[in-house]
Amino acid sequence: MLLDSRADSLELQPQDSTDCRNVYVTLRGMAADRKSGAEKYLANRMKDPAYRAAYEAAKRRIEQVDALVQALDDRREQLGITKAELARRADLAPEAVRRLFSVDAPNPTATTLIALADALDLELVPRRRRAS
């Protein structure tokens, strides 16, 4: 059978006359439009202005931490330093440094970030947030 794929449907077509089955499946209105329970819950909660404001503030903080950790890891790679060597230079546990650069949602302390920045010959300098 051959698979014919279009934007809104899939069709299986027989390759020869011995395979006379022809199955047609329409995906429109199915999985593409369906939301999970979590997505529906979040959409409903986002209607509350106070919840939306708290959500956006938390999202900004998470994005800032992610960007900072990524910048530190980029600098580490630029200098050709291993995570173990960076941990030694920053006087941190090697597993803490490995975890920081490998988990999806790191949550480092300010002290850890400053120690890593110092070991990478960087300064953490606060500045005003750009207009959004």
Residue 14, in any domain of the structure: yes
Residue 52, in any domain of the structure: no
Summarize pLDDT for 1-12 with one digit per residue, the tens: 444 444 444 444
Same domain, 78 and 113: yes
Which residue's structure tokens are 């200098």? 79
Under DSSP, the state recorded for 22 is -
Residue 21, in any domain of the structure: yes
Same domain, 72 and 108: yes
Name the domain count of the chain: 2
Residue 125, in any domain of the structure: no
- In 3D space, the residue among 63, 66, 73 whose CA is nearest the CA of residue 116 turns out to be 73
Strand-strand pairing, 9-13 and 23-26: antiparallel
Write down the pTM of the prediction: 0.65
Residue 95, in any domain of the structure: yes
Summarize pLDDT for 78-117 with one digit per residue, the tens: 999 999 999 999 999 999 999 999 887 788 999 999 999 9
Q: Can you name the residues that pair with 3 across neighbouring β-strands?
A: 12
Same domain, 107 and 67: yes
Residue 51, in any domain of the structure: no
